[in-house]
Amino acid sequence: MINRQLKFAEAIHEAIDICLDGDRSTYLMGLGVPDPIGVFGTTKGLQEKHGKKRVFDMPVAENAMTGVALGSCLVGMRPIMTHMRLEFAMTAMDQICNQAAKWHYMFGGQSKVPLTIRMLIGRGWGQGPQHSQSLHAWFAHIPGLKVVMPSTPYDAKGLLIASIEDDNPVVFFEHRWLHNIHGPVPEGHYTVPLGEPRIVTEGGDVTIVAASYATLEAIKAGRELEREGIKAEIIDLRTLVPRNDAAILASVRKTGRLVVVDQGTLTGGFAGEIVARVTEEAFGALKAAPIRVALPDIPTPTTRALSNYYYPTPRHIIAAVHRTLGLTSRDGGDDPWAGIEPGDKTLDVPDKSFTGPF
């Protein structure tokens, strides 16, 4: 039992700090990294501690700076890059996906690219179409990248250290609404291996697969379902690539039912990959159609009047579980949005302490 409680953001901070301490070739760069706010606290004070040569800001030039990070790997460095929003890194897709992802392979394994790229996923007030996309499915589709999506402070620290120490490019997702959650975090160095999902709660009635912030929503749904007597086995993917599917397949073989929750949009999203994979591998065990709970295929609207109807809630997960259990007709059942007012001010905050907008 670990008694030490840290915020997710603090766990990230500690992981980076430990890696900077442990390996002189590690450095950290990104817009705002050394500024007084320090990327929502995750990089605060690190420049003061580790020096300007190892922790620094950069020009607004995400594509070139990714190339710079990659180039430095070729002479032995181990960079960590930080993007305050995933969208900023969309200018860097060539360097991330054509260069960093493929460099090791396309030169026959001669160079390695131990580059970790932190991507923050926005949610909050009016983050809107260009500050909120969770495009983990994109990166998972590029061979050569590892994709990591923790949901707890413990995993955040252990997986980030593992990512930084990994000799390959890793894209590390941090959902903004996770930064302030608390959880037990051991002191010092430890790693959580890339590739192993975590069984959050055991249950025999239905398997719920999620990752990153969606895991929290799944857990909330699971609590509610438990009250109804439905026991969900909730599995937190933790990493999309690499990914050992044994736990998921074993779970579905037990429950026969699958709901996948994704913080990205539906079509072409990673939930589809999980559904496809499970269906291919455990078809005989499935008792009902799997269901995806994901964002609709719509850009994120800015006004909360619409974003309140955009992000699925635990109620949606519950409704999906009910459907897969045959408790409601496939398309029927309660409208999970029922009773929500456009002006509602509880759905666009992660908790009461949130004062917006980022």
Ligand X SMILES: Cc1ncc(C[n+]2csc(CCOP(=O)(O)OP(=O)(O)O)c2C)c(N)n1
Positions marked active-site: 62, 131
Task: Pick between residue 186 and residue 299 the one whose CB is nearest to a copy of itself.
Answer: 299
Choices 5-13, 84-92, 139-147, 279-287 (CB under 6 A): range interacting with ligand X: 84-92
Task: Pick between residue 68 and residue 288 the one whose CB is nearest to another protein.
Answer: 68
Q: Kindly list the distances between the CA atom of residue 72 and the CA atoms of 33, 69, 103, 205, in Å, as whole numbers in the listed order.
A: 19, 5, 13, 50
Residue 97 interacting partner from another protein, a copy of itself, ligand X, none (CB closer than 5 to 8 Å by kind): a copy of itself
Report how far residue 15's alpha carbon sits from residue 31's, in angstroms, rounded to the nearest whole number: 19
Note whether 91 binds ligand X by CB under 6 A: yes
Task: Candidates 126, 186, 204, 299: give the one binding a copy of itself (CB under 8 A).
Answer: 299
Report how far residue 175's alpha carbon sits from residue 200's, in angstroms, rounded to the nearest whole number: 18
- Contact positions with a copy of itself (CB under 8 A) in 60-119: 63, 87, 90-91, 93-94, 97-98, 101-102, 105-106
Q: Quick one: tokens of 284? A: 């005989």
- Residue 126 DSSP SS3: coil
Q: For residue 206, list its beta bridge partners.
A: 232
Task: Pick between residue 97 and residue 232 the one whose CB is nearest to a copy of itself.
Answer: 97
Phi and psi angles of residue 248, each rounded to the nearest 5 degrees, phi first: -65, -45
Note whether 60 binds ligand X by CB under 6 A: yes
Which one, of 174, 169, 213, lies nearest residue 15 by Cα? 174
* Peptide bond connecting 242 to the previous residue in cis, omega within 30 degrees of 0: yes
Q: How far is the CB of 159 from another protein (least distance, A)?
A: 16
* Peptide bond connecting 357 to the previous residue in cis, omega within 30 degrees of 0: yes
Positions in the binding site for a copy of itself (CB under 8 A) = 63, 87, 90-91, 93-94, 97-98, 101-102, 105-106, 128-130, 135, 137-138, 140-141, 143-144, 241, 264-265, 267-273, 275-277, 279-281, 283-284, 286, 288-292, 296-299, 301-302
